[in-house]
Structure 1
Amino acid sequence: MQIPAAFEYERATSVEHALELLHARGPEARLLAGGHSLLPMMKLRLAAPEALVDIDALAGELGYVREEGDEVRIGAMTRHRDILESGLVAARLTIFTDAEKLIADPVVRNRGTIGGALCQADPAEDLSAVCAVLRARLVVRGLDGERTLTMQELHRGPYETTIGDAEMLVEIRVPLHMGGGSAYEKVKRRVGDWAIAAAGAAVRLEGGTIADAGVALTAVGGDVMSERAQASLVGRPPTEDAFAAAATLAAEDCSPTTDQRGSAEYKRHLAHELTLRALRSATARALREEI
């Protein structure tokens, strides 16, 4: 039987209370949101926090999806299920709906949260690529105030973030300017499994050319964002040649490793093909928005 190491348990009743508990407990404390990533790691002794601060009661305070101005704001405790079922997200941030359909299974989606997923910093986690594609801003709060990060600034490396010991992610702010023309593609071994490889793309069209683009990859190493692929698309018409060139750059920029899910060569092939498919779907959706 897999049993985690001993730990102390606290239950937060507000964001401020959670921050106070983190400050009091020190660097060996961890937040517990949905628990579907942290608890399995604790059972395997891959993580051994001295204290858990349970923030499940904060779902009412930090569980929301709402449009404000030119962006959609998503509370960090919003469940995957609620994002998947959101009409606003389906209409304005299509890539989120694509990805949420492919995340784990209903049991996980009913409990897992977007904040927990992003802060786990798992290289095979889907929503990090989704947020990177859409240039989301992440609001991190501490006892002394708030700061805002990009996805690139949030993740220090696999399973590491730049969030401080007495800070927590409270909100994800997603610009709307490319959300409707976006898509996510994923290959996995079986339903509910982590990705072998996945790709997200977003396209904004102006006057028949690509005015802005986002491309990001999941589970294939390297940086999530493919800056070269994005730059290669801007100013070009949305053609197969443009998509193929961008997909080639994205595949070159990743650094997959051979493991039980497949060879590095196979994963690089998937990175190319899934980027191509995501760009096609994203552009088709962007064209429908223009009509």
Structure 2
Amino acid sequence: MYAFEYHRPTTLSAALADLEKAEAKALAGGQTLLPTMKQRLASPSALIELRDVPELKGVAREGDAVVIGAITRHIEVSQSAVVKAAIPALAALAGGIGDPQGRNRGTIGGSRANNAPAADYPAAALALGATIVTNKRRIAADDYFTGLFETALEPGELITKVSFPIPEKAAYVKFPNPASRYALVGVFVARTAGGVRVAVTGAGENGVFRVQPFEAALKANFSASALDGLSVPADGLNSDIHADADYRAHLIGVMAKRAVAAAG
């Protein structure tokens, strides 16, 4: 690990000022950043610790949405009475991320900024039509995820909270890697007054994506049987030591049916 400065601001304005330093990185949970620094794959000049910034904390229901502060930990989302009451599928998703150590350190903002291809939260954000709120603007989930480990965030832009519209029904089901608990394939299904959204994580070469044929079938008939005969092409899906593209394509259909059954 290379030498770096460590800053621990207590206000959002101070954190943003610190982040203007050349090659500075925000530290929200460190579940990806610190390991890459230890491997010398990343060498920021400064780490800006965000855990003492009150403007980035908290879970609240605001109208027809649940709003979660960027440095809210996975364990807090999973145990939140607000989340459990409004979007139980989101609480269940958070409770299944990684292991207890990771859930007690990792944060929703850090996960969103990193956009790992097998992370769970991207599926929830895309399926629920979430809005990622930064210090500069509001970004719809459909516009936010731009590729593998890539997002619409610009230099100097910091996620402050994520707003999740409350669905009529929703569920998330994943086939986890037995070691890491990352999703080999994870499918989040949500039904709202505006229709149905189906988002897949862990499978796509470019990260999370929606399955519009599934959405159309479920809008007409929200039942697992509505997906009979439908499939996702293996083209564009990941192949690695854990699962090839054909197997992931098969899992998408299986996990989608299970998610619909769980939501219903």
TM, length-normalised to structure 2: 0.92
- After superposition, the CA RMSD in angstroms is 2.0
Within the alignment, does 1:236 sit opposite 2:230 as a pair?
A: no
- CA-CA distance at 1:64 after TM superposition: 0.8
- CA-CA distance at 1:225 after TM superposition: 3.1
One of 239, 242, 257 as aligned partner of 2:238: 257
> Who is 1:140 aligned against?
134
Give yes or no for contact 2:171–2:259 (8 Å, CA) kept in 1.
yes
1:178-189 pair list within 5 angstroms: 178=167, 180-189=168-177
Q: Structure 1 or 2: larger helix share?
A: 1
Within the alignment, does 1:202 sit opposite 2:196 as a pair?
A: no
Within the alignment, does 1:175 sit opposite 2:165 as a pair?
A: yes
One of 3, 6, 10 as aligned partner of 1:6: 3
Within the alignment, does 1:157 sit opposite 2:158 as a pair?
A: no
SS of residue in 2 equivalent to 1:167: coil
Post-superposition Cα deviations, 1:133-189, rounded to whole Å, max 9, x if no partner, equal 100001110xxxx3100223223322222222222000111111x1x5111111123
Separation in 2 of the partners of 1:265 and 1:184?
A: 21
Over 3 Å counting, the alpha-carbon distance change for 1:160 and 1:7 in structure 2 is: farther
Separation in 2 of the partners of 1:227 and 1:264?
A: 16
Per mean C-alpha deviation after superposition, the further-off stretch among 155-164 and 84-93 is 155-164
Residues paired across the two proteins, number: 263
Instruction: Flag structure 1 segments of 5+ consecutive residues without an equivalent.
Output: 206-210, 285-291
One of 249, 254, 260 as aligned partner of 1:273: 254
Give yes or no for contact 1:30–1:49 (8 Å, CA) kept in 2.
yes
Over 3 Å counting, the alpha-carbon distance change for 1:96 and 1:239 in structure 2 is: closer
SS of residue in 1 equivalent to 2:163: strand
Give yes or no for contact 1:183–1:200 (8 Å, CA) kept in 2.
yes
Within the alignment, does 1:224 sit opposite 2:208 as a pair?
A: yes
Over 3 Å counting, the alpha-carbon distance change for 1:18 and 1:254 in structure 2 is: farther
Aligned sequence identity (%): 32
Give yes or no for contact 2:145–2:208 (8 Å, CA) kept in 1.
no
Separation in 2 of the partners of 1:219 and 1:127?
A: 11
Give yes or no for contact 2:234–2:249 (8 Å, CA) kept in 1.
no
Give yes or no for contact 1:105–1:191 (8 Å, CA) kept in 2.
no
- CA-CA distance at 1:191 after TM superposition: 5.7
Within the alignment, does 1:75 sit opposite 2:59 as a pair?
A: no
Per mean C-alpha deviation after superposition, the further-off stretch among 108-117 and 4-13 is 4-13
> Who is 1:48 aligned against?
43
TM, length-normalised to structure 1: 0.84
Over 3 Å counting, the alpha-carbon distance change for 1:98 and 1:78 in structure 2 is: same
Which one-letter code corresponds to 2:222 in the other structure?
Answer: P
Separation in 2 of the partners of 1:253 and 1:264?
A: 5
SS of residue in 1 equivalent to 2:89: helix
Over 3 Å counting, the alpha-carbon distance change for 1:81 and 1:254 in structure 2 is: farther
One of 125, 128, 136 as aligned partner of 2:122: 128
Which one-letter code corresponds to 2:30 in the other structure?
Answer: G
SS of residue in 2 equivalent to 1:45: coil
SS of residue in 2 equivalent to 1:57: coil
Give yes or no for contact 1:216–1:224 (8 Å, CA) kept in 2.
yes
Which one-letter code corresponds to 2:57 in the other structure?
Answer: G
Which one-letter code corresponds to 1:42 in the other structure?
Answer: M
Separation in 1 of the partners of 2:124 and 2:101?
A: 21
Which one-letter code corresponds to 1:150 in the other structure?
Answer: A
- CA-CA distance at 1:31 after TM superposition: 0.3
Which one-letter code corresponds to 2:197 in the other structure?
Answer: G
